[in-house]
Amino acid sequence: MCLTIRRMNAKHDYLVSELWILAWNASVQHARLYRQGIEPSLGETRLFRQKVIRYLSSQVIPRYSKVGINEGQHYKHIAELVTYANSVGETVLGQLGYKYGVAQKLLNLALKYHWCLGAITEPPHCPVDRIVIDKTRFSGKSWTMIVQKSEYQTIIEDIKRLAGAQSVAMWELSIYSRR
């Protein structure tokens, strides 16, 4: 029995680790996050990535596990992620630092993966990226250049309009599954 539980935990841990890699890569691709000349896969950037993922894994994601998080709390978590990432990444981040658009993409994608695995309740938002933005009236705007909460909020409000009676998270799953 104990061996079976360990095997299940090992499988779960493996999947979660792989999903973090996917979420991280999706959140930094095209984002021009790092200073010029900084290699994204080496040394300080690797340590930066590990710290941010550890922070989200231990401090943020568990908050979504049993009780639903309201939208105000979710916005607060994105802002806290921006602050944390900027504090631990000051030596590797570019001029704009850790942008709000990058933070929301990482957190929302990680939450989507955890939700789809059944580990957390449904998140209040979806990952906002090019595919999602292109469905809104902000088509053509780059999620990687969102630096303020207000820009993100405006896009989320338009997504809610498009989602209608569906939740934002379910709406996004449906548009992705139809690609």
Render pLDDT for 101-159 as a digit per residue (tens, 0 to 9). Answer: 999 999 999 999 999 999 999 999 999 999 999 999 999 999 999 999 999 999 999 99
Can you tell me whether residue 165 is helix, strand or coil? coil
Alpha-carbon gap, residue 16 to 113, rounded angstroms: 8
Q: What total of structural domains would you count in the chain?
A: 1
Domain coverage including residue 24: 2-177
Joined tokens for residue 155: 């896009």
| Tens digits of residue pLDDT in 37-90 | 887 777 889 999 999 999 999 999 999 987 779 999 999 999 999 999 999 999
Residue 70 DSSP one-character state: P
